[in-house]
Copies of this chain bind each other. A is one copy, B any other.
């Protein structure tokens, strides 16, 4: 069917090796020979088989990514950074999307083993200790993005500091009754997202530091999603003594909070201040105050670390922290007294 390197060699009247050298731009071919081979390649419409190439080389020039809900704006933006960095390095990107616990476990177990890729990027998923061990056994270079695990390299932000930053800002605006809306605390059945948990920690620390005792009833957790956050927030805002400000662990959840405020006819920011996290695209549109993190860059940096590790697996464990920044917009204001 399709021409092989052997066909090219035969027609051009040269050896296999020569054709291979031409394909790979080796300098050890005379100009004349090279041209002849090139002509035959064009004539035969020959395309080197990537699979055969990978096989022979022992590398796939492919990087695999496991991401939960890759449809979430923050994840998409990280993926975009990954793709861009990978493409400029000549690597292809294969994506595994994970929306159930079972698939998370399967992917984490099987993808590294399949040897389809030269490296693996895991987004927003923290492998458990036993999974880390299994991962290391495969010897496949791995980098975590927006997640942390002992003895695995990664790029993240300081989520605790982020949570504190958001909360301190609300405190500085005079708020004392500050609520928190975040993801479900990881349990057996869930994904082990850690960022929401850390942001909660930062929230609590900031409160304590300001002499405000954190109240349990001000902290609500649910599945990540606009609708879930809306329900949670509505509940929270109907408390006898409701919060005057709400910190949502993500912009998506903050949108749910905004909806809840609308449901209850609470004016934002006059009666309720709202702050989110991530600074996804739509945050600007909504005028949402939020904590910005560099999503695109996290993908880029993750790829850099990974490629370094692929080139030299002995590279010492690197962990990179990306900066965060408070973006004050219109959903927060000094508390009315």
What is the interface of chain A, defined by CB distance below 8 A to chain B?
Answer: 1-2, 45, 47, 49-52, 54-55, 60, 62, 70-71, 76-77, 79-80, 83-84, 87, 92-97, 103, 113-116, 137-139, 226, 255, 259, 282, 285
Alpha-carbon separation in the docked complex, A114 to B2 (Å): 12
A94 CB contact (under 8 Å) in B54, B93, B139: B93
9 A-B pairs whose Cβ atoms sit less than 8 Å apart in the complex: A47-B115, A51-B51, A51-B54, A51-B60, A54-B55, A62-B94, A70-B79, A83-B96, A282-B282
Q: Which residues of the other chain, B, contact A50 by a CB distance below 8 angstroms? A: 114-116
Alpha-carbon separation in the docked complex, A60 to B87 (Å): 20
Q: Which residues of the other chain, B, contact A114 by a CB distance below 8 angstroms? A: 47, 50
Alpha-carbon separation in the docked complex, A92 to B1 (Å): 25
Nearest chain B CB to A49 CB, angstrom units: 5
Alpha-carbon separation in the docked complex, A285 to B52 (Å): 49
Q: Which residues of the other chain, B, contact A51 by a CB distance below 8 angstroms? A: 51, 54-55, 60, 115-116
In the complex, the answer to whether A93 meets B95 with C-beta atoms within 8 Å is: yes
Alpha-carbon separation in the docked complex, A71 to B2 (Å): 35
Q: Which residues of the other chain, B, contact A2 by a CB distance below 8 angstroms? A: 115, 139
Residue among A2, A50, A60, A226 with the highest chain B CB neighbour number at 10 A = A50
In the complex, the answer to whether B45 meets A137 with C-beta atoms within 8 Å is: yes
CB closest residue in chain B, given A60: B51
A76 CB contact (under 8 Å) in B52, B76, B92, B255: B76
A285 CB contact (under 8 Å) in B84, B96, B138, B259: B259
A92 CB contact (under 8 Å) in B47, B103, B116: B116
